[in-house]
Structure 1
Amino acid sequence: MLLERKILRVRASVLFFVLIFSGTAYAAGPVVHIISVSGTVEPGMAAYLKRVVSSLEKDESAILVFAMNTFGGRVDAAFDIVETICTVPRQRTIAYVEKKAISAGTLIALSAGSLIMKENTLIGDCAPMIQTSEGHKEAGEKTQTVLRAQFRTLAKRNNYSQVLAESMVSKSMEVYKITRGTHSEYMDKTQWQELSEKEKKKITGKSTIVSQGELLTMDDKEAFELGFSRQSVTTLDQALGVLGYGSCKKVYITENWSENFVRWIQPFLPILMILGIGAVYTEIKAPGFGIPGLVGIICLGLVFFNQYLVGLANYTEILVFIIGFLLLGMEMFVLPGFGMAGISAIIVLAAGLVLSFQDFVLPDPSLPWQSNLMINNLGLVMGSAFGALVVSMSVVRFALPKLSKVIKGPYLDATLQDSHAESTEASGICAGDQGISLTTLRPSGKVRIRDRKVDAVTQGNFIDPATPVRVAQITAGHIIVETIMEKREK
């Protein structure tokens, strides 16, 4: 019995240490962080991914899996996201195309060290588009050149075909698959034409992969065949198994409430700007401080708070706005009329609004879309200001007068045109009262009536001082007097 107890104790001790060491090994192993990349690519998404990646980039055990489901969006936001992802060693980043990664989403997906796609998903078609008066149009060669350079950089980083990567951007490219014995490679039409006849004779096969006038867009099987995707899978767990992380701990990361709110409110910023500017204008035109002023502060505050959270507005924009409001206050309360202070205030406030919608002051010539973005921001601010002016003038002209019919008064419904008090009535003087002239009346002067010194006029004749007078009549507040002698003669 004693021997059996000792054996059981030894077994329990061994099991205890095994559990401890296995738990320690599991805890020290890689942890897979599943990061949702869903919706429109815009500054809110860039801020969210920057927060997540910054918190994990120094953790060497963290594997970052970007679950892609986006049709794309803004080029500047996509470039910011690519820069953020590239701060992490490529062996720790994976792009998993869960549904689609189109346009700017393709750029983000190719920035990860590995790409794996779910069955029946798509990737590609990254032609840059700009908004014109005639609608959306493909951006010019200047913009496409920058994008192609970025795609080449990512292709070199992750061992993809550079030509195929570039063909996702420009329709002018025609790409062939060239076979030389057992070796295959991809080249565009220009490279093919530059080959010598001797080199062309060595080629055993040639097929067109991307025709001129088309953009490379791939499903999961085509992406695998062309060397982009590691494999087509049916689930995320299968994808992790293919990459060697099937048994690792998984942590799912999504946007927090503030990031959700920022992305939700982004489309409504022009409306908030119109309401905010209009409400402030209405408050300036109305006496005191009331509901319009509070509404204006809340709306403009939401605009600046949103832009601050996505990293576009910072202390520079806040300082610009403070200067603008100081100039506006100087124009309103210090300087008369409307002059340089008012014009300067308008320019400074407009500049602050424009800067809060972009992460640069002046466009970089090497990034052509920044010029288009600045023009769009100027149009947004000017359009919002004009809309605010129309709305606020309509409120002051039509809404405020009707407010008195809804809110209980008291209110003055009649004018004061006939409401005046006669000074003579207030003093108790009436026709027939007698007094004495104090000054010469030529024909106006001073008289004393009932111990009161008042102004009086005659009917044309002069009256000397110390002459007894009588009030003949009172007209429109004027006391008309005559001498008592004149009264007797009449």
Structure 2
Amino acid sequence: MLPEQKSPQIWATVLFFVLILYSAVQAVEPVVHIIPVSGTVEPGMAAYLKRVVSSFEKDDNAVLVFAMDTFGGRVDAAFDIVETICSVPKERTIAYVEKRAISAGALIALSAGTLVMKENTLIGDCAPIIQTSEGIQEVGEKHQTVLRAQFRTLAKRNNYSEVLAESMVSKSMEVYKITRGEHSEYMDKTTWQELSEKEKKKITRKTTVVSEGELLTMDDKEAVELGFSRQSVESLDQALEVLGYGAAEKIEVSENWSETFVRWIQPLLPILMIIGIGAVYTEVKAPGFGIPGIIGIICLGLVFFNQYLVGLADYTEILVFVIGFLLLGMEMFVLPGFGIAGVTAIIVLAAGLVLSFQNFVLPDPSLPWQGELMIKNLGLVLGSALGALLVSMSAVRFALPRLSKVINGPYLEATLQDSRAESSEALGICAGDEGVALTTLRPSGKVSIKDRKIDAVTQGDFIDPGTSVRVARVTAGHVIVETIMEKREK
């Protein structure tokens, strides 16, 4: 009887362990998260990818697929994205070139552990460029050195040819495919020239892959041939099938509202700064606190809030902004006129804006684009301030006076256009008043009438000083006098 009583307990135990094993098997099933990387590479994209990737960083079952469609963008943002992707084990990251991965996009694509390209897509051409007065130009060796080092690092990480990866950056490189028997490798022109004649004789074939003056840009088939892409595919589903994730659960990741807001408002930041700085300047020049001050705070707040969301502005910038607005409030409500507090407030707010556009305080000499970015940010803020000043002055000079034609209200319409300070009412002089010539009238001069020194003219005669005169008439602001003797003789 005892074995029969224990039988249900044994089966229950077995079932319990089976359920545990089944749950464990289910838990290790990978989940594919498809993350779009499209549009311009800028701080907003870097913040979005950092948020998404960090949420899966400790999830060993999460496979991250970066769907690439970008012409590139800012180098600093691309470096931040590369650092974010490399924080995840390379076995769990896949770059799928959906349309193109050009310039900074190529750098991002090569940071993933595996690269797969859709048919008729492109990758490469990562030469750093800058906008100058003469148009777009390629930057110098100082920038290229840093980029080449980053490409070499990613090539070592993912077993790509370092020489080919570098040739995406520098046009001065010429790359050959060298064959020794059954072994092939890629070699740049400098290395080739350093080979001894004995070593060159062992080479059975030499083919130019990248000519000097060109940048390596590959289509999907060339990327497979040169060892970058795993395979050319027709769709993302086929790519996942090739990589062994065909049956895995697929989840598409999208931006949240704040990231969408950041990407939308980014091009409008210069306009918001012009309006904001102009409104603050108008508020400082006007008594009290009104609508311009509110508009200025809202616009500058939007600029700062945008930079805070993308991770460029932090508590340091918040403190700088608060100090600037406190000084501004002190200037408006406490101190009379516009003095040291007002000037300091403007300088502090400008410094806060500059810092909010970059993720560093002082540029790092080893990252040459940081210095250029700081100069660009200074120019942006100072240019916006100058534009705001011109807009404010124009508004006060031209726009506000015309509001009276649009807005109803009591206005004073009388003007002093035809008034004259020399009129008889203003002078208190009238015909018949007598006085004495103070200077020679030839025919104009000075006379004293009612103990007042007045400019007067005669009717053509000369009158000597000390001669008694009488006002003949006052017309159009002119006092015409004559000698009293002359009048009596008449």
**TM-score for both structures, normalised by structure 2:** 0.79
- Structure 1, unmatched stretches of 5+, are 1-13, 418-458, 461-490
User: Does 2:352 align with 1:318?
Assistant: no
Give the superposition deviation at 1:261: 1.1
- Residue 30 of structure 1 contacts residue 62 of structure 1 at CA under 8 Å; is this kept in 2? yes
**C-alpha distance in structure 1 between counterparts of 2:272 and 2:375, whole Å:** 20
What residue is the counterpart of 2:401 in the other structure? 401
Given the superposition, is the C-alpha separation of residues 332 and 15 from structure 1 closer, same or farther in structure 2, using an over 3 Å criterion?
closer
What residue is the counterpart of 1:139 in the other structure? 139
**C-alpha distance in structure 1 between counterparts of 2:15 and 2:215, whole Å:** 60
Cα deviation, 1:140-189, whole Å, max 9, x if unaligned, reads 10000000000000000000000000000000000000000000000100
- Residue 354 of structure 1 contacts residue 374 of structure 1 at CA under 8 Å; is this kept in 2? yes
What residue is the counterpart of 1:98 in the other structure? 98
Given the superposition, is the C-alpha separation of residues 19 and 252 from structure 1 closer, same or farther in structure 2, using an over 3 Å criterion?
farther
- Residue 34 of structure 1 contacts residue 66 of structure 1 at CA under 8 Å; is this kept in 2? yes
Cα deviation, 1:200-243, whole Å, max 9, x if unaligned, reads 00000000000000000000000000000000000101100111
- The one-letter amino acid of 2:36's match is S
**C-alpha distance in structure 2 between counterparts of 1:235 and 1:20, whole Å:** 37
**C-alpha distance in structure 2 between counterparts of 1:265 and 1:207, whole Å:** 49
- Residue 287 of structure 2 contacts residue 332 of structure 2 at CA under 8 Å; is this kept in 1? no
Q: Give the stretch that moved more between structures: 348-357 or 317-326.
A: 317-326
Give the superposition deviation at 1:330: 3.9
Give the superposition deviation at 1:325: 2.7
What residue is the counterpart of 1:376 in the other structure? 376
Give 3-state SS (helix, strand or coil) of 2:345's partner.
Answer: helix
- Residue 284 of structure 2 contacts residue 332 of structure 2 at CA under 8 Å; is this kept in 1? no
- Residue 130 of structure 1 contacts residue 372 of structure 1 at CA under 8 Å; is this kept in 2? no
What residue is the counterpart of 1:217 in the other structure? 217
How large is the RMSD of aligned CA atoms in angstroms? Answer: 2.4
What residue is the counterpart of 1:435 in the other structure? none
Give 3-state SS (helix, strand or coil) of 1:404's partner.
Answer: helix
Give the superposition deviation at 1:21: 6.7
Give the superposition deviation at 1:273: 0.4
User: Does 2:245 align with 1:245?
Assistant: yes
- Residue 282 of structure 1 contacts residue 395 of structure 1 at CA under 8 Å; is this kept in 2? no
- Residue 39 of structure 2 contacts residue 71 of structure 2 at CA under 8 Å; is this kept in 1? yes
Q: Give the stretch that moved more between structures: 342-351 or 36-45.
A: 342-351
Identity %: 83
Give the superposition deviation at 1:117: 0.3
- The one-letter amino acid of 2:316's match is T
- Residue 178 of structure 2 contacts residue 203 of structure 2 at CA under 8 Å; is this kept in 1? yes
Q: Give the stretch that moved more between structures: 135-144 or 314-323.
A: 314-323
What residue is the counterpart of 1:113 in the other structure? 113
- The one-letter amino acid of 2:127's match is A
Give 3-state SS (helix, strand or coil) of 1:100's partner.
Answer: strand
Given the superposition, is the C-alpha separation of residues 281 and 339 from structure 1 closer, same or farther in structure 2, using an over 3 Å criterion?
closer
User: Does 2:212 align with 1:197?
Assistant: no
What residue is the counterpart of 2:32 in the other structure? 32
Give the superposition deviation at 1:99: 0.5
Give the superposition deviation at 1:22: 5.9
What residue is the counterpart of 1:290 in the other structure? 290
Give the superposition deviation at 1:404: 2.6
Cα deviation, 1:380-402, whole Å, max 9, x if unaligned, reads 00110000001111111222222
Give the superposition deviation at 1:348: 1.8
**C-alpha distance in structure 2 between counterparts of 1:386 and 1:37, whole Å:** 36
- The one-letter amino acid of 1:212's match is E
**C-alpha distance in structure 2 between counterparts of 1:291 and 1:67, whole Å:** 46
Give the superposition deviation at 1:292: 2.2
